[in-house]
Amino acid sequence: MRIATIRPPRLRTLSEEGERAATWLELFYDLVFVVAVAVLGSRLLEDTSWSGVWSYVAYMALLWWLWASHTFYADRYDTDDLVYRLLATGQMAALVIAAASLSSGPASSTAAFAVAYTLSRLVLIAMYVRARKHVPATRRLVTGYLVGFSIGAVLWAISIFVPEPARFALWAAGFSIDLATPWLMRREQARVPLDVSHLPERFGLFTIVVLGETIAAVVVGLSQTGWSATTTLAAMFGVGAAAGMWWMYFDNVEGSVVRRRDKDGRAWRPTVWIYSHFFLATGVAMAGVGLEHAVVSAGHGAFDAAERWLLAGSSAVAFGAMALIHLAASSTRSPTLHMTIARNRALGIFLLLIVGFLSFLGSTWVALVVLLICVGQVIADVGMGVQGETNA
């Protein structure tokens, strides 16, 4: 039995050796994002127009940044103590408000989203204030974070009282400052490494979250149509495509890339590796919505161009993100393997874009072709892995 006590933050990425796993609190924290991504997906399900897609991507970027910025803090300073648990719980409460504000029901409100986002950022700032006090070795880095994140939080707080569309302009400004802050502090970040076991696991868990949303979307689509050969096949093809994307990503995870190396021309690689995961999560989550449309269309009618492009295009985005992840990892172990996989993903993107133009394909056929492209990628990956073991 373990009772949480008050333990000040400490720099865990330098003081500890060996494998480090996600905590139970981090797993609980992820559940809030399961709900938020699901609610956001329901918006896209109702509006697959370009404006609906861009709105989805923008909100997904904001949610992903909340998750990522908290994850970066936890990677370096989490001691899972009483104060941290209370702060994390407060942040989860704010995220619940944010998720509810994204719904299409009576709770839908950009002002409520601004309130929730502001509160979440203020909690993160409070966490960094503790870290600045108790970890002198990273005080310069944390001071830079506090300045940038505080400016961003002020803009978000002001946006609560400003009408649309000026509110959105303030959001964009605050978000841009948040994103720019780590980049401006990159030299200090290089002195405070990230954990090569914990951080990749956390990004992998978020990928699992959005893959789970994809499976849930297929189930919801099937439940809306009832049993028939075409709907069942479309659902099974969708599950297979999700499994293929899981296989493609998790068979090739390379964690050491998160350590920044300024002296050998690799400083860009951690940044590309980290932020490519946003596009991976967004692409996979949007593909789930596209698969739900495919299952429903298989039972009730035509699969229009917007729905076809949503499935094929978002899958292409996920493939592109995986290609970038491999390019970033190409200087670590098995560089040739990573480069070859990146080229294979590029071929997959080309094939998926062709699918987007094939207007004569029904939804079940589109789901099948996406599945076959994923299967082809997996077979190529497995073949390269077998060849590498043989050569070794």
What is the pLDDT at residue 59? Answer: 96
DSSP code of residue 7:
-
What is the pLDDT at residue 91? Answer: 95
Q: What residue ranges do the domains of the chain occupy? A: 19-190, 198-391
Rounded Cα distance between 348 and 76, Å, is: 36
Mean pLDDT across the chain: 88
Annotate 21-43 with b (16+ C-beta within 10 A) or e (fewer): ebbebbeebbebbbebbbbbbbb
- In sequence order, the 6+-apart residues with CB closer than 8 A to the CB of 66 are 91, 95, 98, 117, 120, 121
Give the rounded percent of residues in the chain with a pLDDT score beyond 90.
67
Chain segment 317-354, per-residue pLDDT in tens: 999 999 999 888 776 556 677 788 889 999 999 999 99
DSSP assignments along 286-305, one per residue: HHHHHHHHHHHHHHHS---H
Residue among 273, 267, 207, 199 at smallest CA distance from 242: 207
Which token pair is 239?
């599950």
Annotate 351-388 with b (16+ C-beta within 10 A) or e (fewer): bbeebbeeeebbbbbbbbbbbebbeebbebbeebeeee
Mapping DSSP onto H, E and C, the string for 77-134 reads HCCCCHHHHHHHHHHHHHHHHHHHHCCCCCCCCHHHHHHHHHHHHHHHHHHHHHHHHH
CB-CB contact of 240 with 315 (8 Å):
no
Rounded Cα distance between 369 and 355, Å, is: 8
Largest CA distance in the chain: 64
Residue among 287, 282, 279 at smallest CA distance from 241: 287
Average confidence (pLDDT) over 344-369: 94
What is the pLDDT at residue 386? Answer: 45
Chain segment 55-82, per-residue pLDDT in tens: 999 999 999 999 999 999 999 998 888 9
What is the pLDDT at residue 251? Answer: 79
* Helix, strand, coil percentages for the chain (3-state, nearest 5): 80, 0, 20
Average confidence (pLDDT) over 199-220: 92
Model confidence band, residue 35 (pLDDT cutoffs 50, 70, 90): very high
Rounded Cα distance between 164 and 6, Å, is: 43
Rounded Cα distance between 179 and 260, Å, is: 17
pTM for the whole structure: 0.91
Pairwise pLDDT comparison (349 vs 390), residue with the higher score = 349
Residue among 130, 128, 54, 67 at smallest CA distance from 95: 67
